[in-house]
């Protein structure tokens, strides 16, 4: 059974803080993804990675960076959190040509 | 034009009804197709993959029409527990990127 875990379910941060969101998968998947989900906008891809130390920008990378030092772990970094980054953040992983499996999500509030 | 488009609904149907959702995709190079289900405040979960020949899983049937670039999901004999948002997803493999529709909301009413 695939398991994708995220470090926090709920997070409250102040404007300007640096925020780290961690994601770990236990199925040796090559691909990992970070999305944010907002009402009416659906899932939007921030960044994805298809291998260790590799990263690709998604549709909305501005204000975010990522790190993939190990195959099982993919981190999303908000360098200086802003209120418009308040959202649900979802991590996912997949095999190279397979379906995605999602973590439970982190609901981030930036005040 | 969006990669994937869905009617957002909401669809409100009585128990036992049959309901169908359609989804269109813009890139003919799309290679794989999925339906995901997302319950309120939960993560999306794979409902079923969609194969060229169409496929069925119990009360759920998925169809793919490559010529018209749309996929569909049919739910027969709706249950209260089917209430959720259904997301259409396509993958082109090149770039390893998945494209999600915004989802179709279904509420099954007693």
Picking from A49, A87, A102 by the largest number of B CB atoms within 10 A of its own CB, the best residue to mutate is A102
Q: What's the pLDDT band for B3 if we cut at 50, 70, 90?
A: confident
Indicate the residue of A42, A48, A94 with minimum beta-carbon distance to B100. A42
Q: Which residue in A has a C-alpha nearest to residue B92's C-alpha?
A: A97
The predicted-structure confidence for A81-97, as pLDDT tens digits, reads as follows: 999 999 999 999 988 77
Res. B95: pLDDT tops 70:
no
Decide if B64 contacts B74 (C-beta within 8 A).
no
Average pLDDT in the A5-34 region? 95
Provide the pLDDT for residue B98: 86
Indicate the residue of A41, A50, A102 with minimum beta-carbon distance to B96. A50
Please enumerate residues of B whose Cβ is less than 8 A from a Cβ of A: 31-32, 34, 42-46, 49, 87, 89, 91, 93, 95-98, 100-103
Would you call B97 and A43 a contact, using CB atoms and an 8 Å cutoff? no
| Structure-block tokens of residue A59 | 């549709």
Q: Distance between CA B87 and CA A69 in Å, rounded?
A: 31
* Residue A19 three-state SS: strand
Provide the pLDDT for residue B60: 97
- How would you classify the pairing of strands B104-109 and B98-100? unpaired
Residue A90 with chain B: CB contacts under 8 Å: 43-44
Would you call A42 and B42 a contact, using CB atoms and an 8 Å cutoff? no
Provide the pLDDT for residue B96: 67
* Residue B82 three-state SS: helix
Residues contacting residue A39 through CB under 8 Å, at least 6 positions apart: none
Would you call A94 and B34 a contact, using CB atoms and an 8 Å cutoff? no
Indicate the residue of B43, B87, B102 with minimum beta-carbon distance to A105. B43
Res. A36: pLDDT tops 70:
yes
Q: Distance between CA A47 and CA A25 in Å, rounded?
A: 16
Provide the pLDDT for residue A9: 93
The predicted-structure confidence for B52-85, as pLDDT tens digits, reads as follows: 888 999 999 999 999 999 999 999 999 999 999 9
Provide the pLDDT for residue B75: 97
Provide the pLDDT for residue A64: 98
The predicted-structure confidence for A49-84, as pLDDT tens digits, reads as follows: 999 999 999 989 999 999 999 999 999 999 999 999
Question: How far is CA A6 from each of CA A11, A34, A74, B71, rounded to the nearest angstrom?
Answer: 12, 11, 10, 31
Counting residues of chain B whose pLDDT is more than 90, the rounded percentage is 76
The predicted-structure confidence for B17-48, as pLDDT tens digits, reads as follows: 999 999 999 988 888 899 999 999 899 999 99
Provide the pLDDT for residue A95: 83
Provide the pLDDT for residue B9: 86
Place of tokens 């289900």: B37
B52: phi then psi, degrees, rounded to nearest 5:
-55, -35
Indicate the residue of A42, A50, A101 with minimum beta-carbon distance to B101. A42
For the beta carbon of residue B5, count every other beta carbon within 10 angstroms: 16
């Amino acid at each position: 059974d695939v398991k994708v875990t995220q470090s926090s379910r709920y997070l409250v941060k102040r404007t300007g803080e640096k925020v780290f969101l961690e994601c770990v998968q236990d199925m040796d998947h090559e691909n990992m993804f970070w999305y944010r989900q907002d009402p009416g906008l659906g899932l939007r891809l921030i960044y994805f990675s298809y291998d260790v130390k590799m990263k690709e920008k998604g549709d909305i990378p501005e204000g975010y960076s990522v790190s993939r030092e190990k195959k099982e772990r993919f981190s999303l970094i908000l360098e200086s959190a802003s209120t418009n980054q308040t959202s649900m953040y979802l991590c996912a992983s997949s095999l190279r040509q397979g379906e995605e499996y999602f973590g439970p999500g982190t609901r981030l509030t930036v005040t | 034009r969006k990669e994937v488009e869905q009617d957002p609904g909401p669809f409100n149907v009585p128990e036992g009804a049959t309901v169908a959702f359609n989804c269109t995709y813009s890139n003919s190079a799309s290679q794989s197709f999925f339906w995901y289900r997302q319950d309120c405040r939960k993560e999306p979960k794979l409902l079923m993959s969609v194969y060229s020949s169409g496929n069925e899983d119990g009360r759920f049937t998925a169809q793919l029409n490559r010529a018209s670039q749309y996929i569909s999901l049919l739910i027969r004999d709706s249950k209260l527990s089917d209430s959720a948002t259904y997301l259409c997803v396509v993958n082109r493999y090149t770039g390893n990127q998945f494209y999600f529709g915004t989802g179709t909301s279904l509420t099954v009413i007693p």
